[in-house]
Chains A and B, each alone.
Chain A
Amino acid sequence: MTEKRKISLTVNGESREVDVEPRWLLSDVLRHELGLTGTHVGCEHGVCGCCTVLIDGAPARSCLALAVTIDGSEITTVEGIAEEDGRLHPLQESFQKHHGLQCGFCTPGFLMTAMPFWADAEDMTDDELRKEISGQLCRCTGYSGILASIRGAAAIARERQGER
């Protein structure tokens, strides 16, 4: 009944084969089997948003996906967003610049949630931005800094363009 099954995932651009029990959550497979502990596990029932990763490009809860069911998918975790030379992603740098984290536990979830829209965030209203991140909880309640960080990322990306 607990027989393992081999699944293939592309994790942060790299092909990985993992033997999983069907009941294993993606969050646990990432952390325990692949050693990617940047994905944080908070509530384990989809409410806190800390474990959010990209599944085939779209933010989703890794604690609400059985790893076996997303066999063949592409996963991006917080470990996969920095540039190849190790330089932080503009969104990460912006979180640093605008004090978007305090204890940092929720940060990977916020970063992954903002991946699809950070480039447009400058033009979004507060309400629109809040709606997009409404599924993420920050128990330090540092939401103002988080909004500023998401908004500030595009400017950092532009500065970098200018450097090149």
Chain B
Amino acid sequence: MKPPRFEYHRPSTRDEVTSLLAEHGDEAKILAGGQSLVPMLNFRLAHPGHLIDINHLEGESTEPEMNDRWVTFDPLVRHVGAERSAIVEEELPLLFEALRYVAHPAIRTRGTIVGSVAHSDPAAEIPAVLTALGGEMVARSARGQRTLHSDDCFVGPLVNGLEQDEWMEVVRFPRRGPGDGFAFEEFSRRSGDYALCGVAAVARPTPGGMSVSLAYLGVGVTPQSVEVSARPMAEYQHPSFLGELEHLVAAELKPYSDIHATGAYKLFLAVRLGTKAARRAVAMGVPG
């Protein structure tokens, strides 16, 4: 239960991070909050030859920032910085709600938003929120920068869309649009555990009603999207909506059975939680 040996690097600028990765690429790991990486080191599930510690980068922001379209998270914005941000509360109600499900307070003081996305855990909350909102991340390498849409951020369990010489510099979520509604739901056996199933819901106004994008966590190898097509508000609240969502969910999700729950039970949860989240998101929104 102790980390293996590695070579330690402490860059003070983003450019240094980029050149260290260009040099050590496949052997290197970036250390930010360390709340997922250090357990993996302790278990020796990860044994990087080089550890690039970005906690000492100079002049980095510890709070999210906002422009006309996006709320942007630099690499050292920790969960607690997001939780306490008025910008997040106002502009990203979905992230604001989801953050209280992320592990425990003492983990959120260290863990970072960008790190959660880079870790690409399909059972984690932040990747599902990014997927539901259609956010982006910026990958940086010596070859330049490129932007990845959330659909391309998550490739498999703990596998992100980065190349070996790239690191995740920024994650950004789109600001709420007029009339949008949001809800986050999850079920876990113990507070702060990985959820058996969870769902982020975004309701958007359409002519005469609303459509809902759902992004599920815990039921696939990446966050799983399910789209509910535009319909009048009342249809969401009608008892038949649960049956309709059941068809949609059964067509899209193939949850695996594991020691904690059968696939069938996760599917059951996905329908109930999805219905609840969709209804709550629609109720918060304003139809077009």
List residues of chain A with CB under 8 Å of any chain B CB.
1-2, 5, 21-23, 25, 28, 44-46, 49, 52, 55, 58-61, 63-66, 68-71, 113, 130-132, 134-135
With contact pairs A64-B39, A134-B104, A135-B103 given, residues A69 and B5 touching in the complex (Cβ less than 8 Å): no
Q: Does B230 contact A (CB under 8 A)?
A: no
Complex Cα gap A132–B108 (Å): 12
Smallest beta-carbon distance A53→chain B, Å: 9
Contacts of A46 in B (CB 8 A): 35, 38-39, 103, 107
Partner of B105, one of A70, A71, A132: A132
Contacts of A59 in B (CB 8 A): 105-106, 109
Partner of A60, one of B4, B51, B56, B106: B106
B7-33 to A contact mask, C-beta < 8 Å, 1/0: 110100000000000000000000100
Q: Do the beta carbons of A23 and B191 come within 8 Å of each other?
A: no
Which chain A residue lies CB-closest to B34?
A: A64
What is the interface size of chain B, counting residues whose CB is below 8 A from a CB of the partner? 32
Complex Cα gap A49–B4 (Å): 22
| CB-defined A-B contacts under 8 Å, sample of 10 | A1-B7, A25-B38, A25-B42, A44-B1, A58-B80, A60-B110, A66-B3, A68-B10, A69-B53, A134-B104
Smallest beta-carbon distance A129→chain B, Å: 12
Complex Cα gap A55–B7 (Å): 24
Partner of A49, one of B6, B7, B34, B104: B104
Q: Do the beta carbons of A61 and B3 come within 8 Å of each other?
A: no
Task: List CB contacts (< 8 Å) of B65-102 with chain A.
Answer: 80, 100
Partner of B42, one of A55, A58, A63, A132: A63
Which chain B residue lies CB-closest to A61?
A: B106
Smallest beta-carbon distance B181→chain A, Å: 25
Smallest beta-carbon distance A32→chain B, Å: 11
Closest 3 CB pairs of A and B: A135-B104, A22-B8, A134-B191
Contacts of B1 in A (CB 8 A): 44-45
Contacts of B107 in A (CB 8 A): 46, 60-61, 64, 135
Complex Cα gap A2–B2 (Å): 14
Q: Do the beta carbons of B34 and A69 come within 8 Å of each other?
A: yes
Partner of A64, one of B2, B35, B105: B35
Smallest beta-carbon distance A14→chain B, Å: 23
Q: Do the beta carbons of A64 and B8 come within 8 Å of each other?
A: no
Task: List CB contacts (< 8 Å) of B102-156 with chain A.
Answer: 103-107, 109-110
With contact pairs A58-B109, A60-B110, A113-B106 given, residues A22 and B6 touching in the complex (Cβ less than 8 Å): yes
Contacts of B105 in A (CB 8 A): 59, 113, 132, 135
Smallest beta-carbon distance A76→chain B, Å: 13
Q: Do the beta carbons of A65 and B6 come within 8 Å of each other?
A: no
Scoring A45, A64, A135 by chain B CB atoms within 10 A of each residue's CB, the highest score goes to: A64
With contact pairs A28-B2, A44-B1, A58-B80 given, residues A5 and B8 touching in the complex (Cβ less than 8 Å): yes
Q: Does B157 contact A (CB under 8 A)?
A: no
Contacts of B103 in A (CB 8 A): 46, 135
Complex Cα gap A49–B109 (Å): 13
Scoring A5, A21, A61, A113 by chain B CB atoms within 10 A of each residue's CB, the highest score goes to: A61
Which chain A residue lies CB-closest to B4?
A: A23
Q: Do the beta carbons of B110 and A65 come within 8 Å of each other?
A: yes
B209-241 to A contact mask, C-beta < 8 Å, 1/0: 000000000000000000000000000000000
With contact pairs A46-B35, A65-B34 given, residues A22 and B51 touching in the complex (Cβ less than 8 Å): yes
Partner of A52, one of B7, B34, B106: B106
Contacts of A49 in B (CB 8 A): 104, 106
Q: Does B43 contact A (CB under 8 A)?
A: yes
Complex Cα gap A61–B8 (Å): 21
Complex Cα gap A1–B105 (Å): 34
Complex Cα gap A70–B191 (Å): 28
Partner of B6, one of A23, A45, A70, A71: A23
Complex Cα gap A26–B39 (Å): 13
Smallest beta-carbon distance B82→chain A, Å: 14
Scoring B51, B104, B192 by chain A CB atoms within 10 A of each residue's CB, the highest score goes to: B104
Q: Does B55 contact A (CB under 8 A)?
A: yes
